[in-house]
């Protein structure tokens, strides 16, 4: 019997500024290459949520949409908490990740006080203003390989009492001289890595897929079609690494 997987991308009309919602399609395609049947469901309203969910992707959005996106995520807070305890992988990028934290602080303009937006509290920590926005390549060492992406954020991530996604080799990551990037709590992953990150870093996609397949009672094995695609991604990562003075993979 073929493994059937449903991958949800939440509120992409608000949370897809960098194409990060398309990480869901990366998961679906790689699942298909591994012999599974996979579909992507774009959920813009809680009523559109499918009965069964195998993975969740939350992209990044603009600061002007933070409150609207937060309010939509609140309508699924029970589901997000349940998924996080039932082994459903949740990948949250940029502001999508920040909104899963305890809160997001926005720097005041022209002497105005800092504005604080309450998050939904799925992940520890909070996003706090930086003096200068970070826009550069980010390279991270993780337990499932070196990850490369682009970071573009005006906030650091502070007081993350959970495991980091990895250690920064080049770039800022969570900032505040932490040398860390992202946060991982169980099957919930938050990161600054844009790209989309799973297209640039197949090893990260495969880590999530292994969890999805295992939860579905199946074993994940990278499909033959993935080999040539992964080689292209590896070459692209190496170009960035060499330019930053790092060794090739």
Q: Which residues are annotated as a binding site for substrate?
A: 133
Catalytic residue among 153, 159, 192, 194: 194
d(CA 28, CA 198): 11
φ/ψ of 106, rounded to 5, equals -105, 130
Neighbouring residues of 9: CB distance < 8 A, sequence distance ≥ 6: 16, 21, 23, 24, 40, 41, 42, 43, 56, 57, 58, 59
φ/ψ of 156, rounded to 5, equals -90, 165
Going by the annotation, the residues of the binding site are: 133
d(CA 216, CA 210): 10
d(CA 80, CA 56): 9
- 3 state DSSP class of 201: coil
* 194 annotated active-site: yes
Give me the active site residues, please. Answer: 194
């Amino acid at each position: 019997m073929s493994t059937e997987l449903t991958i949800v991308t939440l509120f992409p009309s608000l949370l897809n500024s960098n194409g990060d919602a398309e990480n869901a399609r990366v998961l679906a395609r790689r699942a298909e290459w591994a012999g599974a049947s996979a579909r992507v469901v774009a959920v813009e309203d809680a009523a559109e949520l499918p009965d069964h969910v195998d993975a969740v992707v939350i992209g990044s959005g603009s600061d002007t949409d933070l409150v609207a996106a937060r309010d939509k995520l609140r309508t699924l807070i029970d589901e997000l908490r349940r998924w996080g305890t039932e082994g459903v992988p949740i990948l949250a990028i940029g502001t999508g990740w920040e909104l899963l934290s305890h809160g997001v602080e926005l720097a005041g303009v022209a002497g105005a006080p800092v504005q604080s937006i309450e998050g939904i509290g799925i992940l520890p920590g909070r996003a706090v203003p930086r003096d200068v926005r970070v826009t550069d390549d980010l390279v991270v060492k993780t337990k499932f390989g070196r990850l490369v992406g682009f970071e573009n954020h005006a906030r650091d991530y502070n007081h993350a009492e959970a495991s980091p996604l990895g250690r920064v080799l080049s770039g800022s990551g969570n900032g505040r001289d932490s040398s860390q990037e992202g946060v991982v709590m169980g099957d919930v992953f938050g990161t600054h890595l844009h790209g989309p990150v799973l297209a640039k870093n197949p090893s990260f996609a495969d880590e999530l897929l292994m969890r999805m397949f295992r939860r579905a009672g199946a074993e994940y094995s990278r499909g033959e079609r993935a080999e040539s695609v992964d080689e292209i991604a590896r070459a692209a990562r190496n170009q960035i690494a060499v330019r930053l003075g790092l060794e090739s993979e």
